[in-house]
Structure 1
Amino acid sequence: MIERDHPTINIKRQASLLGVNRTSVYRKPAGTEESAENIQIMHVIDAIYTDKPFFGYRRITVKLREMGFNVNRKRVRRLMRLMGIHGIHPQPNLSKRLHAKYVRPYLLRGLDIHRPNHVWGVDITYLRMGKGFMYLFTIIDWFSRKVVDYELSSTLEKGFVMTCLKRAFRRCKPEIINSDQGSHFTNADYLNLLAEHEIQVSMDGKGRATDNSRTERFFRALKYECIYLNEFENPRELRKGIKRYVTFYNTDRPHQSLDYATPDRIYYEHVTSVA
């Protein structure tokens, strides 16, 4: 991730270290392309959606009007698409599928997930900042609820998803990865990467948010326990905040579903016992 205001490393050097084209760095980030009013509306949409993910753009439009925003359905729908969210009803959770031929069946129904790195869930969420927003891609081990890895991006281009997955695979690999039917996962690059590592591909049923509920619960906890409480002003602050929260979530936050153990404890105890 490029930090435009980094105190010691200039943009040219950062681009070189990350292996990206320097000219692409100077494009306007997604968060600065929208007006301040639209960003404010998006932040409110995020709060409404986090509380009521079954609300589509029509109901969110009504709620925004009740709060004094002069918006119509078309505007709200466009902003929700930019945020990468949809109400939970018969359509994919994050953007349109790239092509139906890349969709894979849901493999987890009735599956006994009984060890770490058996199933990983992956997903993307919108994170607000004081003057903009970013997107967070997260990998969760479904057995232990451990956050295996994550990556932040200022755009919804698929590169940050691939970067995070490749980094995670250097440490460990699951048997199955489950995602929604969004365009980041219904494309040849994503499917080829998983095939190269002999990982089975599972995708949520259309409009079935419960199929990826463990990942969604992490996003909800992250927003209520970190993002909304701190109101990070810029990417640097957000990255530091996410790093602190993920460490807390993995090592210090008891989980009721784990009999109040932490994800790291469950993950490493069972990895050791399997080994």
Structure 2
Amino acid sequence: MSRKKGQSYSAEQKTKIVLELLKEEETIAQIATKYKIASQSITKWKKQFLENASLAFEPTRAAQEFKDEIKSKDEEIAELQKQLGKSVVEKEWLAKKLESSVSLNKRKTLVENELELSKTLQCKLLHISRATHYYKPVPISEQNLKIMHTIDEIATDNSEYGYRYIHQQLLEDGYNIGKDRVLKYMQLMGIQALYPTKKRLTSIKNPEHTIFPYLLKEYWSRTGKTKQIYVPAPNEVWSGDITYIRTNGGFMYLAAVIDWHTKAILAYKISNSMDATLATDVLKTALLKYPKPKIFNSDQGSQYTSYEHTQVLKQNDIQISMNGKGRSIDNIVIERFFRTLKHGNIYISDYQSIKELKEGVKNYIHKYNFKRFHSAIGYQKPMNLYLEFIKNVG
């Protein structure tokens, strides 16, 4: 046998060489020369051979030990795979919950500079693009802010107008603006036409969120060409929505919850972000103060389809109802309140600061709830009627 440089020996070859050595017919040096291998290697092989010789008489035990070792490793691997799978499921669940319940702006603030994870990976885990993370918003100019305020006024006075009609009105009013920019501003402001047919402009949805059916069809009736809605009792139906609120220096968002029968505003909040947290905070406030409703209705916007918001409703055993696609008229009661608020307070107040806005809206909603007659409830006052109901039921 001639050995090439770097050659390795199989188990059979090693066994043959060791057996020759055990015959003791030749010296180690002779056998080493014969097979062109170092004496130290032959000595080592002999030691290994003798240490494991007993296995030749107990092959079953050796095989069983080997099988047991394989089984142990398999179980270890299975457990690791189980833990890995659990981690993946937990990560995906947390990522979905984070994406649905935390606004994009807040998620952007979670990206850290001094961290072992790269910014690219952090953005991926937080479901935000790198471009979004590095984007620096350009402040809205005074002229563009004026256009947005005008869009708000046109939409409030002409609730059936979509972006094309609003664009036409802006042109007539002397503004030089394209239809796409009108549509962009309306989406930013959360404005859509109140018209019972499919429209291009709808609330911005999240495709991963569940859309629930509209449950209020039984409350609608038609008299001639007029279609009206009537909810027979307080706490039968609540609804929530978010609207754009103008100030002299910019804009904010107002979220509110209304009782459909009494028209009482049960809770509201003003924020600079139109996100799931805003909608959910208002709902939680209403549920802390008053008995829960049978049904809660909203549009299909991501603020209301989010995990955070729908979980609050499910935990309180409240039926979830959502407007049909492109049908803001399905939530007409709160839309009418927003129109009343803007004409009765926002447009005539010229608020100079957020502090002034919040104080002014607080005073107006108190007046609306407790002092203003409402024709739809027989010229009674909304909150007085609602509290009387709560008192009698309780």
- Normalised to the residue count of structure 1, the TM-score between the two structures is 0.85
Instruction: Report which stretch shifted further, 240-249 or 161-170.
Output: 161-170
Cα deviation, residue 60, structure 1: 1.1
Q: Deviations over 1:109-137 (max 9, x none)?
A: 11473332221011111011111011100
Q: Deviations over 1:82-141 (max 9, x none)?
A: 111122441487522212751111111114733322210111110111110111001001
Using the alignment, how far apart are the partners of 1:118 and 1:127 within structure 2? 28
Higher helix share: 2
Q: Which amino acid aligns with 2:231?
A: I
The alignment status of 1:183 with 2:291, answered yes or no, reads: no
Q: Which amino acid aligns with 2:379?
A: Y
**1:13 aligned residue:** none
Partner secondary structure for residue 185 of structure 1: helix
Q: Which of 251, 260, 266 is matched with 1:133 structurally? A: 251
Q: How does 1:28-107 map to 2 (within 5 A)?
A: 33-87=139-193, 88=195, 89-91=197-199, 95-99=203-207, 102-107=210-215
Distance 1:94 1:184, change over 3 A: farther
Q: Deviations over 1:8-47 (max 9, x none)?
A: xxxxxxxxxxxx99x79xxxxxx98311111110000000
Q: How does 1:165-176 map to 2 (within 5 A)?
A: 165-172=283-290, 173-176=292-295
The alignment status of 1:215 with 2:326, answered yes or no, reads: no
Identity of aligned residues (%): 39
Using the alignment, how far apart are the partners of 1:76 and 1:92 within structure 2? 13
Give me the CA root mean square deviation. 2.4
Partner secondary structure for residue 149 of structure 1: strand
Q: Which of 298, 312, 326 is matched with 1:193 structurally? A: 312
How many residues are matched? 251
Q: Are the aligned partners of 1:92 and 1:182 in contact in 2 as well (CA < 8 Å)?
A: no
Distance 1:216 1:166, change over 3 A: same
Distance 1:236 1:266, change over 3 A: same
Q: Are the aligned partners of 2:156 and 2:339 in contact in 1 as well (CA < 8 Å)?
A: yes
Q: Which of 231, 242, 246 is matched with 1:124 structurally? A: 242
Unaligned runs of 5+ in 1: 1-19, 25-30
Higher relative contact order (CA 8 A, sep 6+): 1
Partner secondary structure for residue 211 of structure 1: helix
Partner secondary structure for residue 184 of structure 1: helix
Distance 1:32 1:252, change over 3 A: farther
Partner secondary structure for residue 33 of structure 1: coil
Q: Are the aligned partners of 2:216 and 2:321 in contact in 1 as well (CA < 8 Å)?
A: yes
Unaligned runs of 5+ in 2: 1-105, 111-136, 220-229
The higher radius of gyration belongs to 2
Cα deviation, residue 68, structure 1: 1.0
Instruction: Report which stretch shifted further, 127-136 or 207-216.
Output: 207-216
- Normalised to the residue count of structure 2, the TM-score between the two structures is 0.60
Using the alignment, how far apart are the partners of 1:53 and 1:196 within structure 2? 35
